Amino acid sequence: MIYNRIKNVLNKFCFRGEYMDVQELSSGNVNQTYHLFYNDCGKSCQYVLQRINGYVFKEPENVMRNIVQVTEHLRTSMEMQGLCADGHVLDIIKTVEGKPYYVDQYGGFWRAYVYIENAIAPDMVTSLDMMREVGRGFGNFQRLLVDFPAKDLYVPIPNFHNTTKRFYTFVRAVDEDKAGRVKKVEDEIEFFFEHRRMMNQIVQLLDNGTLPLRVTHNDTKSNNVMMDITSGKAVCVIDLDTVMPGSSLYDYGDAVRFGASTAAEDEPDTTRIALDMDKTRAFTEGFVEETNGFLTQAELRRLPLGIKVITCELAMRFLTDYIDGDLYFRVKSPQHNLIRARAQMALLRDIEKKQDQLEDMMDDLLRRKF
């Protein structure tokens, strides 16, 4: 029963009212997430409770330190623009001891937020307007953090999007073959050797200073933006675990990879997977509208490279985890990581076919906007 997993934690946080119910939110691949329902003198209060994955996040207290700083900065930036921040930035619920997290007797690490009501976190983007709005949401997020002092941030997962290093980790996993699965995935392994040089490009452009390092979200799936049900507007960017210095190409690329795919991230039928160019364009319009003025020409021109690199990186991360025996991502079956890897590889093949279309789209948009 879900309740048994959380019952000893509930009274550690300053939730208002009386506990009523819990539902598990299962779209995340890393942390365990619960939606809590409370009743405060007839008024419904909802919260999100999460158990942070200690395998993925080695120092969760520092992850929370980042999130406290980033949410304070977001709040201040909004208020300085005369905007109301309530409901537009994650609101951390403190523990009864006044801390932003609780560590249980087994070392399990817990945190809680106010649940954003009347909003959805879309696993699938169902319209072009929604995709444009997702673009605005993440673009606005980067804009609000443009003056955040990056050096103050703890790096929760070093080399998170360093595809060069991720390739070496992948090769090491193949060499170790911990779960005895390498013989089943020879073709997939070959695919990443063929893509090695392409994958390195953003790292090289950051290293040689062509692209600037910015404070980025680094996990820009559409289900990390809450969309208001009534207005359809992006109201709040969530999942701030991986906010750290990175490239705008990562945020742009990951969002398009996820939101503009014609199928789910783990679609087993790869013939159903393609990049939807209309959704790609809609996202780009929203994102560029919000980041217009501070993204450099070097970044804007190379946004499509972000889609390719991030799709390839994630495909390789899924395959690495399959080879390792599913240590990192939560899986629903022993094949899940392999299915995910193949789905992302299929998406990458389609992105590569659409390379010219992506460049034409960017040329066209930049001609109009600048």
Minimal distance, residue 140 CB to ligand GN1, in Å: 20
Q: How far is it, in rounded angstroms, from Cα 302 to Cα 254?
A: 14
Minimal distance, residue 84 CB to ligand GN1, in Å: 27
Q: Which two tokens stand for residue 46?
A: 């909802």
In contact, 112 and 19? CB cutoff 8 Å: no
Considering the complex, state which of residue 121 and residue 273 has its C-beta at the smaller distance from Mg ion.
Answer: 121
Minimal distance, residue 121 CB to ligand GN1, in Å: 10
Binding residues for ligand GN1, rule: CB under 6 A, are 28-30, 56, 219, 239, 241-242, 265, 314
Considering the complex, state which of residue 241 and residue 285 has its C-beta at the smaller distance from ligand GN1.
Answer: 241
Considering the complex, state which of residue 85 and residue 314 has its C-beta at the smaller distance from ligand GN1.
Answer: 314
Q: Which two tokens stand for residue 40?
A: 């405060």
Q: Which of 303, 206, 297 is nearest to 254 (CA)?
A: 303
Minimal distance, residue 37 CB to ligand GN1, in Å: 23
Residue 254 lies near Mg ion (rule: CB under 5 A) = no
Residue 163: enclosing H or E segment and its boundaries? helix 163-176
What does 56 bind: ligand GN1, Mg ion, none (CB cut-off 5 to 8 Å by kind)? ligand GN1
Q: How far is it, in rounded angstroms, from Cα 70 to Cα 88?
A: 13
Considering the complex, state which of residue 28 and residue 304 has its C-beta at the smaller distance from Mg ion.
Answer: 28
Considering the complex, state which of residue 63 and residue 227 has its C-beta at the smaller distance from Mg ion.
Answer: 63
In one letter, which amino acid is 367? Answer: R
Minimal distance, residue 239 CB to Mg ion, in Å: 4
Q: How far is it, in rounded angstroms, from Cα 67 to Cα 41?
A: 31
Residue 219 lies near Mg ion (rule: CB under 5 A) = yes
Name the one residue in this structure whose structure tokens are 């014609």.
Answer: 262
Residue 214: enclosing H or E segment and its boundaries? strand 214-216
What does 265 bind: ligand GN1, Mg ion, none (CB cut-off 5 to 8 Å by kind)? ligand GN1
In one letter, which amino acid is 312? Answer: C
What does 29 bind: Mg ion, ligand GN1, none (CB cut-off 5 to 8 Å by kind)? ligand GN1
What does 50 bind: Mg ion, ligand GN1, none (CB cut-off 5 to 8 Å by kind)? none
Residue 257: enclosing H or E segment and its boundaries? helix 248-259
What does 71 bind: Mg ion, ligand GN1, none (CB cut-off 5 to 8 Å by kind)? none
Q: Which of 155, 143, 157, 126 is nearest to 57 (CA)?
A: 157
Considering the complex, state which of residue 201 and residue 337 has its C-beta at the smaller distance from Mg ion.
Answer: 337
Minimal distance, residue 51 CB to ligand GN1, in Å: 12
DSSP 29-81: SSSEEEEEEEEETTEEEEEEEEEE-TTT-S-HHHHHHHHHHHHHHHHHHHHHT
Site for Mg ion in 223-252 (CB under 5 A): 239
Instruction: Summarize as ranges the residues that interact with Mg ion (CB under 5 A).
Output: 219, 239
